[in-house]
């Protein structure tokens, strides 16, 4: 059973600390602490991962993020990537070939992936942990236990 982890992008990006940086691979563009721990978790527990961006859609680790941006799915739909474009990317990038989708995004993204990622194939490993602080502590402990 092949698993794809779906991670949220995060606000903090490489350009915050290195404004001179040009385009970056998606796996390196998002630099927030929570995102980095989510990537580590995904690399260990899933076969592959993608990052879900309100501007760029589904990003594979090697996809290029051209520059800094500030966009979230809490903004009006006219300011975010369309459901049609997300659906197209999901199929074009072969993300539909996975058996299970480990949603690191939490349930708040259900409305975004509804009709794209089959509900019965989604799991939420961070569900019920509480706020960001609790999630981060869980991910840190999980990583420490691996080593």
Average confidence (pLDDT) per 10 residues, the chain, 147 residues: 96 94 96 96 97 97 97 91 97 98 88 94 93 93 86
Domains contained in the chain, number: 1
Beta bridge partners of 50: 6
Beta bridge partners of 25: 64
Strands 64-65 and 3-8: unpaired
Which pLDDT score is estimated for 109?
87
Which pLDDT score is estimated for 130?
87
Question: Who's near 85: CB < 8 A, 6+ residues apart?
Answer: 57
CA distance 41 to 143: 7
Which pLDDT score is estimated for 108?
77
Instruction: Name the nearest CA neighbour of 99 among 7, 20, 22, 2.
Output: 2
Instruction: Please report where in the chains the tokens 């990622």 appear, as a residue.
Output: 117
Structural domain of residue 49, as residue ranges? Answer: 3-146
CA distance 76 to 79: 6
CA distance 91 to 108: 22
């Amino acid at each position: 059973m092949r698993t794809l982890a779906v991670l949220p992008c995060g606000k903090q990006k490489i350009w915050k600390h290195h404004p001179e940086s040009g385009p970056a691979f998606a796996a390196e563009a998002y630099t927030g602490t929570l995102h980095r721990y989510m990537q580590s978790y995904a690399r260990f527990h899933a076969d592959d991962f993608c990052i879900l961006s309100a501007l760029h859609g589904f990003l594979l680790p090697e996809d290029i993020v051209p520059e800094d941006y500030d966009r979230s799915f809490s903004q009006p739909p006219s300011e975010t990537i369309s459901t049609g474009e997300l659906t197209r990317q999901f199929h074009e990038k072969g993300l539909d070939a996975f058996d299970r989708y480990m949603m690191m995004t939490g349930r708040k993204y259900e409305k975004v992936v509804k009709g794209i990622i089959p509900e019965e194939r989604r799991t939420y490993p961070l569900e019920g942990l509480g706020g960001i602080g609790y999630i981060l502590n869980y991910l840190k402990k999980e990583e420490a236990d691996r080593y």
